[in-house]
Structure 1
Amino acid sequence: MRPLRRLDVLPAFLLSLIYSWIANGEFIRPRPNPLKQVLEHTPVNQPSETCAKLRLKGPIETTHCDYETVESVNDELVSNLSALVRKPFFRYYKVDLYRECPFWRENGFCMHRTCGVTSIDESQVPREWRAEALSQVRGAQEGIVRLPGCFYKNSDFCFLDDNEGGEYVDLTENPEGFTGYAGASAHRIWGSIYNENCFGLSEATLLQRAEMSRFDRSPASILGLSRLPATADEGCLEKRVYYRIISGMHASISIHICHRWFNQTTGVWGPNLQCFANRIALHPERLQHLYFNNVLLLRAVSRVGPYLSAYSLDDEEKGADELLDNVLNIAKSAGAFDETALFRGNDAKILKEEFKDHFRNVSLIMDCVGCDKCRLWGKIQVTGIAAALKILFEMDENALDPQLNRNLLTRWEVVALINTLRLFSESLKITEDFRALWHETHDAERIISEAETEALITAKVRTSWGAHVLLVLIPIGRQAKPQLFLGRHRHL
């Protein structure tokens, strides 16, 4: 393949100016570069008014919040969450990292040393936590669907580890970041996850549309006059929400990888601005989806606040209760997500069950990740989001009362929820660090050029690879419900 040259796009650019002159009688400036728009944005530090006072008119769809308010509270939120997740209650997590992938035989294991997870001896974990982990699973059996090593209840949006296996991990000793896990195995994971969004709209299709629009050099496309026809699926609020949740999680993971990057040439850890430009800045919608996820998680934390406050965290270490109270107060002001707008109408129950089935499958796909640290944080974030979805869409006010329902969430769901909120809000903070690096760089044009070239190559690869993914993976997401994985569908 010959290298991409600027001369390749020059005729189309000139042609666009001619079309503009004919249509409007004057020349227009080229559309702003999305990468520059993301990196040159100045975050808001002080809100003009809280989300609670705003009407549904802000740019964060399906919320009553705007980007400015999320940005204005984020520094305080990150500060409190970073301290909170270092407290014993939130730093220890029990997880099964060695359960077999239920969809395919996974051979793409990461051999880099950064892929490893350091576990801790069970004796370091309080005895009552270990007893609680077992009693939560061995107790009620009604309404539970099981696979080897995991289970879900009717109200759950994901499979949970049964805690009879697995090991305890100190999350502070195993931070999310670059591991070197890449290639066909990693691509297959994300391809599978996005195809579990398949209410008819797949990652391959969405990426193909976005990249076709970005790199289609026809006059109509360059002038912003060309759009691929919308589908009925794009018009369904629940399906758009589902995709934004997945995309926002992907964006957060990418931001952490780019920020805690290992330069294999120099042996130095540090932020990689080119990585951020390629994966995030050139695709502003990914960052928008991250803001959306933050509002959704803040709303869930706010709603379950009385339940969380019932834990006596200061019994383990002083200051934890105060930190949690600070987080809950921020969540009340910025968590303006309207869960009542979803799953309404005659087909609401069917659509919610389909939503659950897809997200449960995503939780099972995490067992196919060929990197222990990536699998750990993938499972935590999927569990955290699933806990938020259960709080928002399955629990009424009576269920959220800690006096009436002491077993609303497992301890590990609570830990996952808070750690996921910390990761997502931290990603917004890291984005500010990358903006600072951008303003200091003297190599902006090269960064832009390399990001656009990478996106063009990726679009071409995904266009051909996506068709293969659809052929191979749709039978898993469509025909094989979770309970069927125990049978002949187990190794599709």
Structure 2
Amino acid sequence: MTLYITSLVFFLFINGTLQVKNRSSKVADRCFCKLNGEIDDCSCKVETLSVLNNNKIYPRIKSLLSRNYFRYFKVNLKKKCPFWHDDSRCALKDCHVDTCKEEEIPSAIKKGSSAYRYSEEAQKEESCAEEKELSALNTTISDESIQAFKDWKEHDESQDLFCDIDDESSADSEYVDLLLNPERYTGYKGESPHRIWRSIYQENCFKPQTEYIYGPSKSSSPLCLEKRAFHRLISGLHTSINIHLCADYLYQENLGYGMKAHWKPNVAEFQKRFDPQTSNGEGPQRLKNLFFTYLVELRAIAKAAPYLQEEDFFTADSDEDKDVRQGIDDLLNIISTFPDHFDESKLFAGNPNEAKLLKDEFRNHFRNVSRIMDCVGCDKCKLWGKLQTQGMGTALKILFSGDDIGPDSTVNAQQKKHFQLTRSEIVTLFNAFGRLSKSIHSLEMFKSLLSKS
């Protein structure tokens, strides 16, 4: 009898354990059910991109982003929300961004690489000449100048600028050390972040036009490739942000004499956001959209490779600058050998007049998205939202610049008359891509944790 009871208990224990493992396995299978095969509207496969990122790109981009050139980002976190009164600021201390003191910023980054290379005497002479010239103020503006301003405005509007970039000369712009202000869950939640994404998706993100036929039944007209691409880009960005919030989730620990904050992965939160049963069936597609966004930004870096290889990445620390240039060359060589890049020539390829209108609409929608980031109530979330949208905007600028577009086209330093990247654009391009790279790398961790939970 004792042997029977022991055997029964052992059977129930093993059977229960197997059922729990089976349920966990099913959760993992549900969340990751679309992470296989070709990425939508692309020939590249999810599995191929995962291997490339996790084994080759992620370790290199992670190392590069720890360098001074990439870790300091000048941003204006005090800009007013242009769309509504922002009355929902996050009061939690983990929403706060620690800005850098003046003496903490490498002087070459503050002054700009070209100015820093002049001798002190040359800078002094130039400063005196500028002071004499600027002290004699002339307020007259000729008719020719007024016309020139109009030409400049038309030229600026013709550029492929897909997002608003902060004026770095503004008194409200400050340098932030990105390593000291990591992207993670801060406790910012509720109506404010929901309003941000609701505004992005409902007002600025293309969606199918639904027509109601015969009462409750309905059909949706399919989106064109460009509008599908826009929606996937935004969804992929949103997914990446959510993965970071789940990977570094805020927990409060009661130590008896006070609360202590610490961060670790939150598997339940990841499941909530990406399990089809808790995400209205959309979670797996959101994860797949992450790979689309990654592929687009990967292609942008590949296209800009000749330009980037001519950059100095100057911070006045000769050893570090040398290491950064070597690291950039190493990363670009790996990216250039990837055989299945996104083909931007498929976008805006129809009737020229219709394509121009669609491209303008595409650009204006994305610029609105970048402006919405100034409505984020949490400073740390705003910082990373602004950085990543600017990085994506820089990627789009690269894709549609140069003498040609398509998987074999490039932009280089000889094209600077028509195409240039500021230090801020380069910093946001690499940091935004680094966020996507880390997100894809984190998926393996969550897959493992879900299977074990």
- Of 270, 277, 286, which residue of structure 2 is paired with 1:276? 270
**Residue 388 (str. 1) matches residue 392 (str. 2):** no
Alignment of 1:327 with 2:331, yes or no, is yes
AA aligned to 1:67 is: V
1:253 corresponds to 2:254:
no
Offset at residue 325 of structure 1 (A): 1.9
**Unmatched runs of 5 consecutive residues or more in structure 1:** 1-32, 45-57, 146-150, 206-225, 442-492
Change in 2 beyond 3 A, CA 1:124/1:227? farther
Q: What are the within-5 Å matches in structure 2 for residues 45-444 of structure 1?
A: 59-75=38-54, 76-132=56-112, 143-144=152-153, 154-165=159-170, 166-199=173-206, 201=208, 229-231=219-221, 234-264=222-252, 267-282=261-276, 283-313=283-313, 315=318, 317=320, 318-332=322-336, 333=338, 336-346=341-351, 347-396=354-403, 400-405=411-416, 408-441=420-453
Distance 2:217 2:421 in 1: 44
Is the Cα–Cα contact under 8 Å of residues 196 and 362 in structure 1 kept in the other structure? Answer: no
For residues 338 and 329 of structure 1, what CA distance do their matches in structure 2 show? 19
What code does the residue aligned with 1:238 have?
E
Paired with 2:262 and 2:439, the residues of 1 have a C-alpha distance of 21
Structure 2: unaligned runs, 5 residues or longer: 1-24, 116-147, 211-215, 255-260, 277-282
Note the C-alpha offset of 1:265.
5.5
Q: Which amino acid is 2:244 matched to?
A: H
Q: Which amino acid aligns with 1:119?
A: T
Q: How many angstroms apart in 1 are the aligned matches of 2:26 and 2:440?
A: 17
Match of 2:122 in 1: none
> Residue type of the partner of 2:392?
I
- Residue 394 (structure 1) shift: 3.1
Number of residue equivalences: 364
Aligned to 1:36: 28
- Shift of the alpha carbon at 1:152? 7.4
Matched residue of 1:157: which SS? coil
Other structure's SS at 2:333 match = helix
Cα distance, 1:369 vs structure 2: 0.4
Alignment check: 8 A CA contact 1:34 1:284 kept: no
1:208-253 superposed Cα distances (whole Å, 9 cap, x missing partner): xxxxxxxxxxxxxxxxxx995222xx33111110000000000000
1:131 Cα deviation (Å)? Answer: 3.8
Distance 1:362 1:335, change over 3 A: farther
CA–CA distance in 1 between the matches of 2:274 and 2:400? 30
TM-score by length of 2: 0.74
Query: C-alpha distance in 2, partners of 1:425/1:179?
Result: 21
Q: Bigger shift: 166-175 or 120-129?
A: 120-129
Deviation track 1:387-440 (CA, whole Å, cap 9, x = no partner) reads 111111233359822023176111111100101111101001111111111122
> SS of the residue aligned with 2:402?
coil
Distance 1:157 1:133, change over 3 A: farther
Change (3 A) 1:170 1:336: same
State the TM-score, normalizing by the size of structure 1.
0.68
Deviation at 1:35, TM superposition (A): 4.2
- Aligned equivalent of 2:126: none
CA drift of 1:122 comes to: 3.0
CA contact (8 A) 2:394 2:429 kept: yes
User: In the alignment, is the contact (CA less than 8 A) between 1:64 and 1:338 conserved in 2?
Assistant: no
* Deviations 1:80-103, CA, capped at 9 Å, x for gaps: 001000111111100000001111
Which is greater in Rg?
2
